[in-house]
Amino acid sequence: MLPLQQQMQLGNPQQQIPPPPPQQQIPNPNELSLAGVLHFLQTEWRRYERERNEWEIERAEMRARIALLEGERRSFENIKIDLLRRVKMMEYALRVERFVLPFPGILEFHQTFSHIL
């Protein structure tokens, strides 16, 4: 038999399956007493409360993670909008520059007659 570390490194599927929860022995009906019944009810109630608390903690962690991821998504969306706006400005500047370069006097003409146009 391989040591536990080697089995985990090899990815033994039997080690990845958690063991089943321990089975509680149900006492013989002839052996039931008030104290035994109360003890059983108390242990079951504790188990129920513990599982409910674990679920509440997990739920709160998931809600916090969701809020974090939604905030990241909003920030990335804002960055995308900003970058798209910058790309459009650069494209416009490039179009204007390409139009002005072949016609050197067009810029002065536009500035001179812009109040008429």
Tokens describing residue 107? 């810029």
Whether the predicted pLDDT of 6 surpasses 70: no
Q: Residues 81, 87: contact at Cβ < 8 Å? A: no
Length of the chain: 117
Mind listing the pLDDT tens digit for each residue in 40-90?
A: 999 999 999 999 999 999 999 999 999 999 999 999 999 999 999 999 999
Q: How far apart are CA 68 and CA 74, in angstroms?
A: 10
pTM (whole model) above 0.85: no
3 has a pLDDT exceeding 70: no
Separation CA 47–CA 54 (nearest Å): 11
In this prediction, residue 23 carries a pLDDT of 65
SS3 content of the chain, % helix, strand, coil (to 5): 75, 0, 25
pLDDT at 97: 80
pLDDT per position as a tens digit, 11-35: 554 556 666 666 666 656 556 788 8
Report, as an integer, the average pLDDT of 99-105: 65
